[in-house]
């Protein structure tokens, strides 16, 4: 069994806990850079883990304060997965990991630090990131600061969000495309396909 050692999280374990949910609090504050919030969707948001298991450790959480996955509404669950995909693309592009761990700790017994507000962990992995340093010396080497990780992933997620934004493209009627355009770009199911319009018909 592979073990991911994290003795540097002692600061988080021993620190004084605030009674309010930090995910709800940071989501409501208008201080995304300070709170390391990378992305806001309609139903969910992305935040860096201040006490990461590894460089680039993110959490995707719904805005609603709910602790059970089965209690998420369909649109919330769908967006949670969609934003997770966006995060993975950004991490792969900006940080070039060799693997990624995804996981949820549902309930205190399972190890959830915030049991009442579910969140999905995304942890980039590199070969040797659990080497002798954390195991023997109890020292974890984190290669990038939180501020630099934030800058890199914020940029990549912004770029990817613009690219993936759906374009408004005129569609043909039953009698063909109505208009004088010679060529249009049509996006279908994630693939860009070029269609030529000639005398009102698709060719």
- Cα distance between residue 168 and residue 194, in whole Å: 15
Residues of the chain under the 50 pLDDT cut: 131-142, 167-175, 177-203
Query: CA separation (Å) from 51 to 68, 107, 113, 142, 170?
Result: 23, 20, 12, 11, 48
State pLDDT tens for residues 5-29: 555 555 555 555 556 888 999 999 9
Question: Which residues does the annotation mark as catalytic?
Answer: 119
pLDDT digits (tens, 9 = 90+) for 143-158: 578 889 999 999 998 8
Domain 7-164 CATH class label:
alpha beta
Segments making up each domain of the chain, as ranges: 7-164, 170-203
């Amino acid at each position: 069994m592979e073990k991911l050692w994290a003795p540097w999280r002692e600061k988080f374990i021993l620190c004084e806990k605030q009674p309010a949910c930090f995910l709800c609090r940071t989501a409501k504050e208008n201080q995304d850079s300070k709170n390391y919030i990378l992305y806001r969707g309609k139903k969910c948001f992305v935040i860096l883990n201040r006490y990461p298991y590894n460089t680039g450790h993110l959490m995707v959480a719904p805005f609603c304060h709910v602790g059970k996955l089965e209690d998420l509404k369909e649109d919330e669950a769908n967006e949670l997965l969609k934003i997770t995909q966006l995060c993975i693309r950004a991490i792969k592009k900006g940080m070039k990991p060799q693997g990624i761990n995804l996981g949820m700790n549902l309930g205190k017994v399972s190890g959830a630090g915030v049991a009442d507000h579910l969140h999905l962990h995304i942890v980039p992995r590199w070969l040797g990131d659990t080497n002798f340093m954390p195991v023997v010396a109890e020292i974890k080497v984190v290669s990038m600061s939180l501020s630099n990780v934030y800058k890199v992933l914020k940029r990549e997620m912004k770029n990817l969000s613009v690219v993936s934004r759906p374009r408004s493209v005129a569609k043909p009627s039953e009698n063909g495309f109505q208009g004088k355009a010679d060529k249009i770009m049509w996006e279908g199911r994630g693939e860009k396909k070029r269609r030529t319009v000639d005398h009102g018909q698709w060719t």
